[in-house]
Structure 1
Amino acid sequence: MVKQTTIAQEISLTGVGLHTGQNVVMTFKPAPVNNGITFVRVDLEGQPIIEADANYVVNTQRGTNLEKLGVMIQTPEHVLAAVVGCDVDNVIIELNASELPIMDGSSKYFVEALEKVGIVEQEAQRKIYVVKDVISYTDEATGSEITVIPSDHYCVTAMVDFGTKVLGTQNATMKNIAEFKTEIADSRTFSFLHELEALLNNGLIKGGDLNNAIVYVDKEISPETMENLKKAFNKDEISVKPNGILDNLTLHYPNEAARHKLLDVIGDLSLIGTRIQGKVIANKPGHFVNTQFAKKIAKIIKIEERNQVPTYDLNKEPLLDIHGIMNLLPHRPPFLLVDKILELSETHVVGLKNVTMNEPFFVGHFPGAPVMPGVLQIEAMAQTGGILILSTVPDPENYLTYFMKIDNVKFKNKVLPGDTLIFKCDLISPIRRGVCHMQAYAYANGKLVSEAELMAQIVKVKND
């Protein structure tokens, strides 16, 4: 079991937003289990929280941009890549502006900050989505494509083709996440001169200078452009190196551009919200295709989780047979709707019911085409959950269980005579004062048949 992680203590960095030019203070803070990566805008009323979630991506022009309820987070990809690269699951990132600091255009300074405070394990299992089939997303307009295939670990390959003499085809590979800090993190963002001119002319790159972006010169620089660049970068002189980049920067790697694209892929795919185990192959990646791919995988994970049918050995001796169940539950036939308890822990319970044609409710419920009523499926779930809550008291025979609330009920498939129903109930929050809040699922024939969020309370029977 791989445990979740967070950072040992908080740490702050200051910098400037590449596009807004605003000074920003960013603080990494430890976060509880299952928090994931969340951003907090401390400069806004109520300090709104924006989760690092692909569904909040609203714009991918010159970076990945998130928006939730009108609150923006701009260009978080380099920070997100650092969090993943440092093997951190849960962290709170406080900001006093919308855009994260660009620093030197890489993830280097964020990695150094996280390593400085240290990483600690938490008492919860890390959630990992194991890729079992090939999943792809293609942007037909650009020819960009991202594919993930099964692998025994997470690795990424990025292949880029910029179609220019100064920067043609490049490849970069990260064989495992442990390589991120030493091989990928210090790869800086880059731009072509023709893009830079357009951005400067439209006031879209106010925080740029020659120390936080590699500029590839893919055209002749006119005297007028040179003067504009001097003014924009506040430099007395600017020249072009023999390798085709503006001066004041030395490449860290011959394929630094491809490595930075790989860095972006890692950051953008963190928006899936779940670690993935698979080999990612990105051909001409960009923020649009990266985040669309993240949305696709997140949707697949959600569907699979919803429809995932747990497997149990039905021939194995149950934890509780019908007699053990009746020792805990006050229900009796024909309203006792659970036959066996297969698993029971402090946080979950699994029960079983064999649905037969001689059920009393089939006499009146579609006798010509018998279907188990949905309300009785919910009742059976609740009875299974009742075993969980009653197992926490020493004298369950002296308690009754009452419904307090039923939410988000969904019926997916019919339950027919001959079916074996499996009920799984998981605590949403710890049991307090006899109140139990559960997420419950019912499965039959390898399918999810119904689900509901249940809240119930046990009440001690007064003995006169």
Structure 2
Amino acid sequence: MQTHQQTLARPVSCSGLGVHSGKTVNLTIQPAPINHGIQFSRTDLPGSPRISAHFNRVVDTSLATVIGADGCIVSTIEHLMATFAGLAIDNALVEIDSYEIPIMDGSAGPFTRLVRSGGTAAQKGPKCYFRVKEPITLEENEKSVTIYPAPVYKITCTIEFSHPLIQRQTYTLEVTPERFEKEISSARTFGFLHEVEYMKRYGLARGGSLDNAVVVSEDGVVNEGGLRFPDEFVRHKILDCLGDFSLLGLPILGHIVAHRSGHAFNHAFLKTFFHQKGSWETLTLDSACGIAPAREEGGLRSQPF
């Protein structure tokens, strides 16, 4: 695990379609100083207003994760946020000239390659973590998310669909940059053909195509190339979870177990997590310097939040 914060070594840029607007979006990721976190800047608006990537800025989760402040929104942030979390990037400024993050190929693969191309730069500031001390659970209507104490960050996700191609799938990821890049980053978002047709009928998913999503019909996968993994569906749900849970603002030492969860339920869990302050603590690792420990346990320095 890392003891110090990271940012990008240099700015990187890309362009792509907004999945709902169908318009071209230009995106640049800038390095940022310590304790900056991840912030988004709308360069198409007067003053280039900024929004912090934090769960208390989430304004909509119906089709994607959307953050907003003072009338300004940034939509579909989950794949880029998963990239930052998966590659352990703590500080960055994302500049975009539209309200949507480009969908790219429907996965975090293009963003992962983009961030990798910019390189990473270690920073002097110590890296803080949420350490889970006791389980926290949210359950409702056959959906559930529980986080358990663990010495590393892990996510186990289970999905269930009646479609014979998907059915029940479970995947566990210990979150490291290497495993994220190899096992999760290229898993694409997916949808059912009748849902795609419905959204297009009502003016949504204007930029959606077989180039940026796995589309499933009654007969199987519509995409000519098929699946990238036999269990690409659940791997993408892990990707979404990574992006959603990163909105806590700090990386986690704990094991998240999610069953049939989505953006809205993940967001509800983040609020539950934050309200149960007795079940977690914030800390830095022993080799981090410059912060006096509140108490020491098992080689970790605990800090007040």
Fold match (TM-score > 0.5): yes
1:267 matched residue in structure 2 = 243
Question: What amino acid is the match of 1:174?
Answer: L
Give the number of aligned pairs.
Answer: 289
1:202 matched residue in structure 2 = 202
**Cα deviation 1:191-225 (Å, max 9, x = unaligned):** 0112112111111110011110011113xxxxxxx
1:89 matched residue in structure 2 = 90
Asked whether 1:247 is paired with 2:246, we answer no
Question: What amino acid is the match of 1:278?
Answer: G
1:151 matched residue in structure 2 = 150
Question: What amino acid is the match of 2:147?
Answer: V
Question: What amino acid is the match of 1:33?
Answer: I
What runs of 5+ residues in structure 2 fail to find an aligned partner?
284-288, 295-303
**8 Å CA contact retained: 1:273, 1:298:** no
Match of 1:13, SS state, is strand
1:171 matched residue in structure 2 = 170
Q: How does 1:32-431 map to 2 (within 5 A)?
A: 32-140=33-141, 143-177=142-176, 178-218=178-218, 244-301=220-277
Match of 1:75, SS state, is coil
**CA separation in 1, counterparts of 2:100 and 2:244?**
16
Change (3 A) 1:301 1:112: farther
2:301 matched residue in structure 1 = none
Match of 1:278, SS state, is strand
Match of 1:267, SS state, is helix
Question: What amino acid is the match of 1:280?
Answer: I
Question: What amino acid is the match of 2:194?
Answer: H
**8 Å CA contact retained: 1:167, 1:216:** no
Question: What amino acid is the match of 1:37?
Answer: I
**CA separation in 1, counterparts of 2:259 and 2:274?**
20
**CA separation in 2, counterparts of 1:101 and 1:288?**
21
**CA separation in 2, counterparts of 1:129 and 1:75?**
25
Change (3 A) 1:129 1:192: same
Larger Rg: 1
Question: What amino acid is the match of 2:239?
Answer: L
What runs of 5+ residues in structure 1 fail to find an aligned partner?
219-239, 309-344, 351-440, 442-464
**CA separation in 1, counterparts of 2:277 and 2:82?**
21
Deviation at 1:247, TM superposition (A): 3.2
**CA separation in 2, counterparts of 1:305 and 1:162?**
36
Deviation at 1:164, TM superposition (A): 2.1
Question: What amino acid is the match of 2:161?
Answer: F
**CA separation in 1, counterparts of 2:3 and 2:196?**
44
**Cα deviation 1:40-68 (Å, max 9, x = unaligned):** 00110111110001111121112111111
Change (3 A) 1:304 1:254: closer
Change (3 A) 1:14 1:148: same
Change (3 A) 1:109 1:144: same
**CA separation in 1, counterparts of 2:32 and 2:66?**
23
Deviation at 1:301, TM superposition (A): 4.8
Match of 1:171, SS state, is strand
**CA separation in 1, counterparts of 2:232 and 2:49?**
36
**8 Å CA contact retained: 1:133, 1:149:** yes
Question: What amino acid is the match of 1:114?
Answer: V
Change (3 A) 1:85 1:271: same
**8 Å CA contact retained: 2:7, 2:32:** yes
**CA separation in 2, counterparts of 1:98 and 1:90?**
21
Question: What amino acid is the match of 2:195?
Answer: E
**Cα deviation 1:215-253 (Å, max 9, x = unaligned):** 1113xxxxxxxxxxxxxxxxxxxxx6xxx0113232111
Match of 1:110, SS state, is helix
Change (3 A) 1:138 1:305: same
Change (3 A) 1:42 1:61: same
Q: RMSD of the alignment, in Å? A: 2.4
Change (3 A) 1:346 1:5: closer
**8 Å CA contact retained: 1:128, 1:276:** yes
Question: Which structure has more RCO (C-alpha within 8 Å, separation ≥ 6)?
Answer: 2
**CA separation in 2, counterparts of 1:284 and 1:2?**
33
Question: What amino acid is the match of 1:47?
Answer: S
**CA separation in 2, counterparts of 1:31 and 1:41?**
16
Percentage of pairs with the same residue: 35
**8 Å CA contact retained: 2:130, 2:281:** no
Q: TM-score, normalised by structure 2?
A: 0.89
**CA separation in 1, counterparts of 2:97 and 2:193?**
31
Change (3 A) 1:346 1:252: closer
